[in-house]
């Protein structure tokens, strides 16, 4: 059983490595990998992938197409969630606001408000 777990872990790591090579210049692939890391509880790795999405897309938002806007907004949203898991509330608020600016929705607005509340409580303690 122990040998099976070892081989399974090696296989997963090889698949992740292959996926990373394949997604080197593809923001959507980095977003997907970040989601996978987040689901597995690998927060630092997820943060790295979500930040890579921003790095790969043009900083001039007027050059983004609709799909790129969606990907970037989602990356900022997921980055905000990841930062909350680390307890980095100021960073989380900045990313949640970025997400709301790119893709205003009830979810992004609610996330901004929840993080603001948490920051207020955190500063009181």
pLDDT digits (tens, 9 = 90+) for 29-56: 999 999 999 999 999 999 999 999 999 9
Signed CA dihedral, 78, 43, 61, 110: sign only = positive
In this prediction, residue 11 carries a pLDDT of: 61
The CA distance from 36 to 38, in Å, is: 5
List CB contacts of 119: < 8 A, sequence separation 6 or more. Answer: 89, 90, 93
Q: What is the pTM of this model?
A: 0.79
Contact 30, 53 (CB under 8 A): yes
Read off the CATH number of the domain in which 105 is found.
1.25.40.10
Structural domain boundaries, residue 115:
2-124
Count structural domains, the chain: 1
Q: Give the CA dihedral 100, 105, 111, 116, nearest 10 degrees.
A: 60
């Amino acid at each position: 059983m122990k040998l099976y777990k070892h081989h399974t872990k090696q296989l997963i790591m090889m698949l992740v490595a292959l996926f990373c090579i394949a997604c080197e210049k593809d923001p959507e692939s980095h977003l997907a990998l970040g989601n996978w890391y987040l689901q597995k509880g690998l927060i630092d790795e997820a943060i790295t992938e979500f930040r890579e999405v921003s790095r790969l897309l043009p900083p001039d938002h007027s050059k983004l197409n609709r799909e790129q806007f969606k990907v970037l907004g989602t990356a900022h949203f997921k980055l905000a969630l990841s930062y909350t898991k680390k307890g980095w509330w100021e960073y989380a608020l900045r990313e949640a606001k970025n997400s709301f600016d790119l893709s205003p929705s009830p979810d992004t607005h609610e996330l901004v408000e929840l993080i603001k509340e948490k920051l207020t409580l955190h500063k009181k303690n």
